[in-house]
Chain A
Amino acid sequence: MTTITVSHLTKRFGPTLAVDDLSFDVRPGVVTGFLGPNGSGKSTTMRMLLGLVRPTAGRALIGDVPYADLPDPSGTVGALLEADAFHPARSGRAHLEILAAAAGRPRQRVDAVLDTVGLVAAADRPAGGYSLGMRQRLGIAGALLADPDVLILDEPANGLDPQGVRDLRTLLRDRAHGGASVLVSSHQLAEMALIADEVVVIRDGALVTHDRVGALTTEHARALSVRSPELVRLEAVLRQAGGRVHPDAGSDRMVVEDLDAPTVARLALDARIEVHELTERTHSLEDAFLELTAS
């Protein structure tokens, strides 16, 4: 059981502040999504976690130590940073055999992970000819090679077909349920909503929020859809109670903001107004994300 801890992490590239006093942690058993617009510092944060980029300030720890001090780094953390990180003339199998040798793992592990990601048929072809989806699979295979407790994956769903995304989701869930800590970045928010249990949202390198996916989508679901035959009277009552009301012209429906469903129901009951429908318009993670990261 290994927790990832990011604490007051800061990275400056010359005048650019790429990561700004960022703190969060990734617990075992949980798939944590890492969201942010392009250039918001997700990859830099992941690279600092992996000891590839030197932080300007703050700490990034795997368990209790920096990545470089882990006794068995490959066996502790599996990482995917770029889909294109291989020599194009090497076969997928040769690429993985090199990683296995460097990690001190037997060659049989290569066959096992090729099978896990469904790349056995293409394993002996030069990786330069792989499709983006196959490259991602090769990268994921590399991350799984030493059967690590922690997975750090940068945009692993990018380029995968729907089946590939489903397989990835199952894989990450299984890993998390087995006790692994999983940090996975994405800008494919719909998929993230299905893959992740929690999300860390950053903007301009700084933390915006860290919450459960469910909490994030309901917290930002303030709008209600209301249908009533006495729309005009209900509108007046709700406005008086502080609600913002947007009638849908030509229909018996309106959208209500800043009041929750129980309040609207009670106000209607007190005023003896019939209500035919009262629905929370659940925002998607995408809506919540766009709202949170709007600058």
Chain B
Amino acid sequence: MRDQLRAELLKLRSVRTTWLFLAVTAAVVALAVIAQAMTASGGDLPPVSDPETQLMLFQSASGLAPVIAVLLGTLGLATEVRHHTLASTFLANPRRERVLAAKAVATFALGAVLGLVAAATAVIGSWLVLLVTSTGLVADTDRILAAVAGTTFAAALAALLGLGIGGIVRNQAAAIGAALIVMLAVEPLLGAFVPDMAAWLPSAVASRIAGASPDADPGLVASASLYGGYALVAMAGAVAVVRRVDV
């Protein structure tokens, strides 16, 4: 299991895709900060001197990081299927559930790194906005720190959820497509037609963990448990499929 984990971490480090994902995440979050700041200066939001607006700036990564982490997570297994490396992975370690456990640990860690990069970009970007506009920090620093920690944790779970989806679907393009359809179409539609459910859907609880809406229901612990549950269900599905499949 330790050898397999080392191999999984090496796999992630040795391809450009991993670094590209982190760079794109930072870029997208930076753009989100700029967009929020411009909206505020255009008068559509309270000005940057408002504590709530400042908090929104600092939380720019909260919604984005889990979405990108899900996509990155799907690659964990789907890439191996695409490049026919799953056979050599299972030859070194025929206990497939152990391979998936090692992948889960590596993917969780990678998701956390992605979440941290996203949250750090949001903090640095927001701080630069305050600097440029000569505005003092009035937002609640505890809530900023909570957003950093929450975004990191939510992205880690999101990557795990993606790994599970990739294991069930196995085709790389189909896995990314399925994840995007669920997050961008199924969840919003479901939320619109069954408003009572909206807050309990994966993307909503992920944003909740990431610190986007502190006073909403479900609470932080409930959200974390629920999102962890979604990730575990996806991983259990992946284990069931991958254990049986001919490679």
- Which A residues are closer than 8 A to B by beta carbons? 47, 50-54, 67-68, 70, 73-74, 77, 79, 81-82, 84-91, 94, 97-99, 101-104, 142
Nearest CB in chain A to that of B89: its residue:
A102
Task: Contact check, B94 vs A47: say whether CB atoms are below 8 A apart.
Answer: no
B69-101 with Cβ < 8 A to chain A: 79, 83-85, 87-95
Q: Which residue of the partner chain, among A53, A88, A101, contacts B6 with CB atoms under 8 Å?
A: A101
Contact A86–B92 (Cβ < 8 Å) = no
Q: State which of A54, A87, A88, A98 has its C-beta within 8 Å of the C-beta of B244.
A: A54
B246 touches A54 (CB 8 A): yes
Query: B89: shortest Cβ distance to chain A, in Å?
Result: 7
B15 touching A101, Cβ below 8 Å: no
Give bound CA distance, A103 to B7, whole Å: 9
Chain A residues, Cβ within 8 Å of B92: 73-74, 99, 102-103
A86 touches B85 (CB 8 A): yes
Q: Using a CB–CB distance below 8 Å, which chain B residues touch chain A?
A: 3-4, 6-7, 10-11, 14-17, 79, 83-85, 87-95, 244, 246-247
Main secondary structure of the interface of B (DSSP, over half): helix
Asked if A102 contacts B4 (CB within 8 A), the reply is: yes
- The residues of A that contact B88 with a CB separation of less than 8 Å are 79, 81, 85, 99, 142
Residues on A with C-beta less than 8 A from B91 are 50, 52, 73-74, 77, 79
Instruction: Judge whether A86 and B83 touch: CB under 8 Å.
Output: yes
Output the nearest chain B residue to A83 by Cβ-Cβ distance.
B84
Additional A-B contacts beyond A73-B93, A102-B3 (16; CB < 8 A): A47-B246, A47-B247, A50-B87, A68-B94, A70-B94, A79-B88, A85-B85, A85-B87, A86-B85, A87-B79, A87-B85, A94-B14, A97-B10, A99-B92, A101-B3, A103-B3
